[in-house]
Amino acid sequence: MAMGILVSEISGSRKELQFLRHFMNVAPEGSRYIRQLITELEHYGPNGVHKCLIFELVSLSISSMVKELP
């Protein structure tokens, strides 16, 4: 799994989550081309509430890919 953490709600950066939800509803057959959202969590920190998005893992990490370069 992979996790993405959005900045606190104060900044209004919920576009990614809105896009993922919308796309899955209107084009489920096309969802194989984007990473799948498994679940979402909230983390309460000193700078506000942060949305944590848990995705399926779609490929190797960047550091793993760099290690495999010739």
Domain that holds residue 29: 2-67
**In angstroms, what CA-CA distances link 3 with 8, 31, 69?**
15, 18, 25
- Model confidence pLDDT, tens digit, residues 23-68: 777 766 656 667 778 888 998 988 888 888 888 877 666 677 677 6
Q: Among residues 58, 54, 33, which one has the least CA distance to residue 43?
A: 54
Q: Work out how many domains the chain is built from and give that number.
A: 1
| Distance in angstroms (rounded) separating the CA atoms of residues 59 and 70 | 19
Report yes or no on whether pTM surpasses 0.85. Answer: no
